Amino acid sequence: MPAGGFTRLPNGSVVVALTLPRPAGNGEAGPVRVLVHAANRARALTRLRNLGMRAVYLRGNTEPPTPDEVTAVLHHPDGLLWRALPDRGDLWRPIRALLRGA
């Protein structure tokens, strides 16, 4: 199920979007969409791995971020957001909310 993709921005940085299973013990079920803004794809994945998401890989570019997703992550100070799937109009949330189970 893990799928994702990336978009290179004009300044050389990238936005990576991944669809991942929700972390265990979070209280809810179902996949989440995670957005990461970083200098390159490797650093984006490293940011997630440093948060405890060890088995995160980007294989291919099957689900790149939409323009709305790029805008959302660029306007967030941490550059790291998530939202539950399927998209029900939920707001993007900081990654800390996913990891602490809120």
Task: Compute how many other C-beta atoms are within 10 angstroms of the C-beta atom of residue 46.
Answer: 14
Enter the pTM of the model.
0.86
Instruction: Classify residue 17 as left (phi > 0), alpha (psi -120 to 50) or beta.
Output: beta
Q: Give the pLDDT score at 24.
A: 64
39 token code pair: 């200098």
For the chain, residues with pLDDT lower than 70 are 1-2, 24-28, 100-102
Q: Give the pLDDT score at 102.
A: 44
- Residues 4/58, Cβ–Cβ less than 8 Å: yes
Q: Give the pLDDT score at 73.
A: 95
The burial class, CB within 10 Å (0-12 / 13-18 / 19+), for 4 is buried
